[in-house]
Amino acid sequence: MPRVALFTTCLVDGLFPDVGRATVRLLERLGQPVGFPLEQTCCGQMHTNSGYFETDLVRRYVRVFAGYDAVVVPSASCTGSIRHQHAQIARAAGDERLAAQAEAVAGRTYELSEFLIDVLGVEDVGAYFPHRVAYHPTCHSLRIARVGDRPLRLLRNVRGIRLAELPNWDQCCGFGGTFAMKNPDVSAAMLADKMEEVIETGAEVLCAGDRSCLMHIGGGLERVRAGVRTLHLAEILASTESGHRASERAPRAEVLR
């Protein structure tokens, strides 16, 4: 049994902890114990993309995760940063030893769907999710981490799910991290297109492997009251029939008037 750690990412840790919990719940259900090193922090992508090479963040990632056989990341964006930026940052600082260490740990770092399919060899995780779902493949999942169709292969094996094809599925939602802040008008126009396409599918839920893009799209959908929820891939894959039944039996909250 490989020694596996969860790198939860700073966005999930700070804003969307349910994604981290769902990832652990899913892996443990598949018989894979997961460690969570408390010293972990940001991968440094937002700094690097803005021109600030933070060698200390690379050094911390290497130190915290060097002892693990695999690191699972519920984010293609952060996975891509670790694989393609960490060694580059170390070399820019003239630290070839750190660059070699960063490459070694990056080689054992997997986006969640990669780990499930390529390492555990599982495509049917025993999930149950009786809803109409549209899947948005994020830019970094397609072009940097290159997870391909792995998330869809996992979703197709979820019992009860009804997958709706998203028009122009390979087009950016407009988030791009700091891009949305530096180019707000362009970002908003791209978001409007993506929202229209999501609504066209008639989906109840929009799913993706990056909570950052879901935050961007979900915020727009909520503002127009589209009635479409956003859920990370891990949250759908961690869902079970018994969990749904328990939810249905749970008492409704009383509405005070």
Q: Residue 111, SS3?
A: strand
Residue 50 lies in a domain: yes
Domain identity same for 84 and 180: no
Domain identity same for 101 and 199: no
- State the Cα–Cα distance between residues 58 and 131, nearest whole angstrom: 40
pLDDT digits (tens, 9 = 90+) for 98-127: 999 999 999 999 999 999 999 999 999 999
Domain identity same for 98 and 141: no
Domain identity same for 115 and 137: no
pLDDT digits (tens, 9 = 90+) for 181-200: 888 899 899 999 999 999 99
Among residues 93, 119, 145, the one where a domain terminates is 119
Pair 8, 36: CB distance under 8 Å: yes
Domain identity same for 85 and 8: yes
Domain that holds residue 114: 4-119
Counting the structural domains of the chain, the total is 2
DSSP code string of 36-48: --TT----SHHHH
Domain identity same for 54 and 83: yes
Domain CATH for 182:
3.40.50
Residue 176 lies in a domain: yes
Domain identity same for 137 and 95: no
Q: Which two tokens stand for residue 225?
A: 């009251």
Among residues 119, 140, 155, the one where a domain terminates is 119
User: 255 falls in which pLDDT band (50, 70, 90)?
Assistant: very low
Domain identity same for 39 and 96: yes
User: 249 falls in which pLDDT band (50, 70, 90)?
Assistant: low
Distance of CA 100 to the CA centre of its chain: 26
**What φ, ψ does residue 108 adopt, rounded to 5°?**
-110, 15
Place of tokens 């039944």: 245
Q: Which of 9-13, 164-168, 178-182, 220-224 has the lowest mean pLDDT?
A: 178-182
